[in-house]
Amino acid sequence: MKVITYSKNIFIPITDFCINDCSYCKFRSDLETARIMKLEQIKSQLFAAKRAGCKEVLFSCGTQPDKSVKFRQRFRSETGYNSVVELVTAACQKALEIGLIPHTNLGVIDFEALEILAEYNGSMGLMLETTAEVAAHYHSPTKDPNTRLEFIAQAGQLKIPFTTGLLVGIGEKKEDRVKSLQALCDLHNKYGHLQEVIIQPVKSTKKGFAGVSLVQLQQLIGLAREIMPSEVAIQVPPNLAIENLKGLIESGVSDLGGISSLTDDYINPEYKWPQLEQLKNQLEPEYQLQERLPIYSHFLQEEWLRRPVQVSLQREGWQNGL
Ligand code: SF4
């Protein structure tokens, strides 16, 4: 029976303020209305997640909010921290102490910040989205494909187990998708750090986003499975493809990513996470749904794990996986 993995997580968006302005985005807020989470609020969510049996905490935020002087002032006065990275570092330390493994994706951050966060994360992530120059990214400087490929390479240099992926239907062509997958494959062949590649269909009702058909999505998943080495899982977010999950699994999907019973998918708030029971009913008996850590088991080795993460894994009895 084919095993389909997922991670039981909680999604904590530190702030939705972002210097980019991607035309399909439904997450971003302006400075005046932006959400900013304090460490105390984060801690209470972490405890709730632990009680609910989660193993992973996903920390995320808009891209480089600290670049705005006004944001920095507001952030400092509301949280007491000088930067988002400083607050997330403290939150990751707290999560490890409670017995949750952090997976952080703060967009493109500088090398020094990546190095600091790597110390307290089991894995990290950044969507490549596409290697094509698309109009949807004209107002989003960090969506430059070379910048993102360079960042994913830096994660490889730092030996961080890494999640990336393609955002599909944002104006890229079929050949761009092949190039994007090839670029990720080249990075993995060099650093060996990619644990999964997400194939995420854009869900935008805004003008200019036709999205992708089920057939196109299945073909792309098949292509991703062909191009990426077998140890790299192909993932699809189940809330974005719930009606066709079996077809997508048949095309090559083997992982459903983080699923939260406590928080929304803040990136696609109108698409609720399916309940695990619902997923099980949908997939069994052909497929077996199996929980995993945010670090895939083949990365549970000394060279891929920092000391604080190792200590937390050992304390929870997860050093060899679930
Ligand atoms: S970088 Fe992310 S949060 Fe910022 S505008 Fe683009 S999609 Fe939205």
Q: DSSP states of 224-262 as a string?
A: HHHHS-TTSEEE--GGGSGGGHHHHHHHT--EEEEE-SS
Ligand 1 centroid–CA 20 distance in Å is 6
Ligand 1 pocket test: pick from 18, 24, 60, 265 the residue with the most ligand atoms within 8 Å of its Cβ: 18
Of ligand 1's atoms, which has the minimum distance to the CA of residue 107? 1
Residue 27 Cα to ligand 1 middle (Å): 7
Task: Report how far ligand 1's centroid is from the alpha carbon of 137 (Å).
Answer: 9
Nearest CA to ligand 1 atom 3: 62
- Per-residue pLDDT of the chain (322 residues), as tens digits, is 899 999 999 999 999 999 999 999 989 999 999 999 999 999 999 999 999 999 999 999 999 999 999 999 999 999 999 999 999 999 999 999 999 999 999 999 999 999 999 999 999 999 999 999 999 999 999 999 999 999 999 999 999 999 999 999 999 999 999 999 999 999 999 999 999 999 999 886 666 676 788 899 999 999 999 999 999 999 999 888 777 899 999 999 999 999 887 887 777 777 778 888 889 988 989 999 999 999 999 999 999 999 999 999 999 999 999 9
User: Measured in angstroms, how far is the CA atom of residue 116 from the centroid of ligand 1?
Assistant: 23
Query: What is the phi/psi pair of residue 195, to 5°?
Result: -100, -25
Domains of the chain by residue range: 2-275+282-316
CATH topology (fold) of 2-275+282-316: TIM Barrel (3.20.20)
Which of ligand 1's atoms lies nearest the C-alpha of 24? 7
Closest C-alpha to ligand 1, atom 8: 25
Shortest-distance atom of ligand 1 to CA 143:
1
DSSP conformation letters of 33-78: G--B--HHHHHHHHHHHHHTT--EEEEE-SS-GGGSHHHHHHHHHH
Ligand 1 shell residues, CB under 6 Å:
18, 20-22, 25, 27-28, 62-63, 107, 140
- Ligand 1 center from residue 317 Cα (angstroms): 37
What is d(CA 56, CA 277) in angstroms, rounded to the nearest whole number? 19
Q: Tokens for 238?
A: 């189940």
Nearest CA to ligand 1 atom 7: 25
